[in-house]
Every structure is written in structure tokens, then in C-alpha cells.
Amino acid sequence: MIRELHNQLVSGAVTATTLAQKYLTAIEQKDGELGAYLTVSRESALEKAASVDESLKRGEKIDLLAGIPGAIKDNICIAGERATAGSKILDNYIAPYDATVIERLKKSGAVILGKTNMDEFAMGSSTETSAYQKTKNPIDTERVPGGSSGGSAAAVAAGLAVWSLGSDTGGSIRQPAAFCGIVGLKPTYGRVSRFGLMAMASSLDQIGPLAASVEDAAIVFSRIAGLDARDATTQSWNGKPFEEYLTGDVAGLRIGVPTEYFSKELDPRIRQATDTALEHFKALGASVHEISLAHSQYALPVYYILMPSEVSSNLARFDGIKYGLNINDQKDSTQETSGLLETYLDTRRYGFGREVKRRIMLGTHTLSAGYYDAYYRKAQKVRALIKKDFADAFQKVDVIFSPTTPEAAFRFGEKTADPLKMYLSDIYTVTANLAGVPAISFPIGVIEEAGKNLPIGGQLMGKWFDEETLLRAADALERQFASQKSN
């Protein structure tokens, strides 16, 4: 879609202003029901679109992404824009600077329509923990869009943005992409700068694109990737746009299928869809190999030790003093202001939601004296073993394929009473974050439930800093599915 819209802009068939207005109108008409956006930046979007139109009038060459409307998850800073991370504790926070990814998007000429809803501080798998609203799945509005980047996924799926950015700590790009029937890419840890991303778990967080196609995701990814002096984890790359690797050719590609991801408990309909996808890969000339990721069975407990530990540390900065909510500001002149300790406690008690408090307490307990060695240190050792499993597997195969989720989108309220059920939504995705490898989710079929065709996502995981192969494989399968539909 991005390339097609770019060609229309260059040919004069449409203007960037008209295109932006079209999406802003769609947001006005549809988003009241869906709740994908927390903030709509109408004026700045139209201003940026007008500047792209001026460039075209002057005969200047524009970037592929110039004038193309997109949306940004509300935990990524845009200078002068509200940035809540879906939390009341940041209800009044205006970002004073641009995240690196925003700087790069602005430089490319991309039009940013607004900020999207999310689970509070990215803690959730359904967008139900947002302090503001529930985002509905455009496929079935009685179901969740996934999380924590649910607003970003719903915006793209509903045609309220061409592309969007999300963040992925344990599956928060890929799971909502699967639930909403679109593409979501979690890059290699260190491929995209985290500067300007509100930290949840710093060793796991990564920013990535959501889009309607693999090519669109690759185009956005090319504009945000690369070295950044403000994020020491980032690495340089050769600069060749990732969309140029999408040849459709996967002949000779070795695809690994981990036995641990295909247990008897897996929904047989999802198993059938993944088997069909693998048959398509074979038809394209790829080979399929059974592999083992032996320590993946420990991934979820390891993740729910390490992630809350980092949450406990990162969220300590929200104390009611530096920025965001101060509980004393909520009191009238007749009420006594709180002392320093009370300000800390009252601000956090009022400002944080239930799930955020739960994870802070879990992490604080894990890091406390007497438990650090028993939990945190041991979990780090198992994380090293999980990473080694991937390194060993990539000696034999080029990419690893699995379902993205163990189920299709579930109904609102179905898992909120039992946190463990909600955490299990990430069972196939957390390993990529723990190992730091890139992973992509893309549609591979549907499940029919109550008269609705609910999307199923397939997941490919690749070698560190080898997004080229990952995107090429996903794109080839996407083309195969598209050619089948057209026949």
C-alpha cells in the first residue's frame, strides 16, 4: 500500500493533504467505537502533509514514506505532544523531545496522525489495562485487539492509519498483529534505538512497525533502524533499505520447526494453519526441519521474573516529584498537602493501575535480599541457556517458524480475572525477546467463531541482525497466500 500511495503522490493523482484528511475523517467517523487513538494530532499532521505537497510542487524527490499517514504508540515521545503510556500517572505529561524513531520518521516526511491506546506502561496482552479506554478489535468489536500495542494494531487493521509503531517486550507487537490480521515486526534487540521510549523492561523492549503487508513493515523499519549515540545497545547497518531484499525467492531456505511449540494442547485449527503454511514454504523451494528449543519451556517463568524486576526499577522514577502526576495538585485548598513519603505513596497508589502495581510488587520481591539469588540470578542463567538454544538451532536452520499465539482473539473480560491466563497469551513470543532475536508475525489463516473469521498469525524468528532473511521469507509466503486467493 505504501508504494502504491507513494506513486499516486508522485504522479499527482492525490496530494498528501488530501490523503491525511481522508484518514483524519476516517478516525472521526470510526474511532469513537473502536478507541484506537488517545490523541489525534490533526494540525501537525496537516502541516506535515502540506510541506510534502510543497516539496512535490518544487519537483523534489521525496522518500517512500513521505506523506504516508501513520500512528505512534503512546509510550513513544513526540515533542510537544501528550505521552501517557496509557497511565493516569502521566495524564498531564507533555514530551519535551522527540524519540529517535520520531526524528527519523519526521526526516523521511512521514505524516503522524496521533498517539494510540495501549496497556498501561505496556503491561498487558489485551489493551484492557489502559487507564483510559478499551480498544476494540476491528474484526469483531466484542473481542480484544491484543496488547500491549492494541491501539496501533487496531488503527492499521481498521484503515485509520497506513502504518504504526508499537513496542514489543514479550510479544506486544506480534500478538496484536496476529489478533488483528496484520503484520508486526519485532526487530533484533539493538537494531532500533530505544531513546524516547518509556522503558518497561530495558533489556527486552524494542520498537517496531505494524502494517498491512510485509513490504509496508519493511519500508517503515528501514526508516527507523540504525545506530544511535543516545542508545548504546544500537548497532550500525549497511543502509540498504530492507524492502529491497523482498525478492520472493526462498529456494534453499532452511526452516526450523521447534517441537516444543507444537504440543498436543495446541488448538488443532491453528496447527492445521501452520502445517498449511509450511507446505507453502516447501512448494516455494524451502526445506523444513524439526528442531528443539529445549529450554523454551522455562521461557514464560523466566520472563515473569526478569521483566517485573526491571519494571520495579524503571518505574521508580514516577514518584510525583519529577514529572507527571503529583497527588498534591489534586487537592483543594482545604486539604492538607502530603509530606514527601506520603506524596510518593499516594501518587503511585492513585496513578498506577492494578496490573502495574502487581508487577512492581513481584519485581521488588524478586530483587529483595534472600530472593535475588533464588529467582533473579537463576532466571538470568536460564535466559543464557535459551539464547544458546537459538544459537545452536541457527547452526542448522535459517529461520524458525511457529504460531504467534495459542489462540485467536479472545473476548473482553475473558482473562482479566486470572493474570496467569493472560500471561499465557505470550507463550510463543517471549523467547524472541529473551534471546534478542528478530521475529515477525503475519496472517496465515482464520478461525471461524460465532460467524466471525478471526485471524491467525504465523511467527518467523531469525538470526540476530538478519531481518533481511526474515522479511524475505515472510514476504514470499504472503505472496503465495495472495496468489492463491486471486486464483
Q: Which of the residues are catalytic?
A: 73, 148, 172
Distance separating alpha carbons of residues 325 and 319, to the nearest angstrom:
8
Ordered DSSP codes for 397-413: -SEEEEES-SSSPPBTT
Q: Are 127 and 145 in contact (CB under 8 A)?
A: yes
Amino acid at 137: N
Distance separating alpha carbons of residues 387 and 367, to the nearest angstrom:
23
Residue 269 has, within 13 A of its CA and on its CB side, a CA count of 14
Q: Are 393 and 291 in contact (CB under 8 A)?
A: yes
Distance separating alpha carbons of residues 187 and 207, to the nearest angstrom:
7
Residue 424: all three cell numbers together: 499465557
Specify the 3-state DSSP secondary structure of 188: coil
Distance separating alpha carbons of residues 105 and 89, to the nearest angstrom:
28
Distance separating alpha carbons of residues 108 and 128, to the nearest angstrom:
33
257: Cβ contacts below 8 Å, ≥ 6 apart: 278, 288, 289, 290, 291, 400, 401, 402
Residue 365 CB-density burial (10 A; 0-12 exposed, 13-18 middle, 19+ buried): middle
Amino acid at 422: M
Closest-CA residue to 76 (of 154, 172, 218): 172
Q: Which helix (H) or strand (E) holds 129?
A: none
Provide φ and ψ at 288, rounded to 5°.
-115, 130
Q: What is the edge-to-edge ordering of all strands in the sheet holding 183-186? A: 37-40, 111-116, 69-73, 163-167, 207-211, 183-186, 439-449, 452-462, 399-403, 254-258, 287-291
Specify the 3-state DSSP secondary structure of 430: helix
Provide φ and ψ at 423, rounded to 5°.
-65, -30
Length of the chain: 487
In this structure, the dihedral spanned by the alpha carbons of residues 27, 29, 32 and 35, taken in order and rounded to 10 degrees, is: -30
